[in-house]
Amino acid sequence: MRLSRSSPRWIVYLFSSLLVALALFTAFGERGVFHLWRLQGEKKQLQEKNFLLQKENDGLRERVERIRRDDAYLEKMAREELDLTRPGETVYRFAPADSARGKGEAAKSPGAAPKEPPS
Amino acid at 2: R
d(C-alpha 17, C-alpha 6), whole Å: 17
Report how far residue 32's alpha carbon sits from residue 42's, in angstroms, rounded to the nearest whole number: 15
Mean pLDDT value across residues 9-37:
87
Residue 107 lies in a domain: no
* Count of domains for the chain: 1
User: What value does the CA radius of gyration of the chain take, rounded to a whole number of Å?
Assistant: 36
Distance from C-alpha of 79 to C-alpha of 21, rounded to nearest angstrom: 70
User: What is residue 60's predicted lDDT score, i.e. its pLDDT?
Assistant: 97
- Predicted pLDDT at 91: 81
- For residue 70, is it within any domain? yes
Q: Is it the case that residue 86 has pLDDT exceeding 90?
A: no
- Chain centroid to Cα 46, Å, comes to 10
**In this model, does residue 28 exceed pLDDT 50?**
yes
**Is 70 exceeded by the pLDDT of residue 99?**
no
The verdict on residue 80 lying in a domain is yes
Domain assignment of residue 94, yes or no: no
| Structure-model confidence comparison of residues 5 and 32, the more confident one | 32
19 within a domain of the structure (yes/no): no
Q: Which residues contact 83 (CB under 8 A, 6 or more apart)?
A: 91
Distance between CA atoms of 58 and 106, rounded to whole angstroms?
45
Residue 10 banded pLDDT, cuts 50, 70, 90: confident
Per-residue confidence band for 1, with pLDDT thresholds at 50, 70 and 90? very low
Strand (E) or helix (H) holding 89: none
- Residue 114 lies inside a defined structural domain of this protein: no
Give the range of the structural domain holding residue 67, as residue numbers without chain letter: 45-85
- Say if CB 33 and CB 27 are below 8 A apart: yes
pTM tops 0.85: no
- Within-domain flag for 74: yes
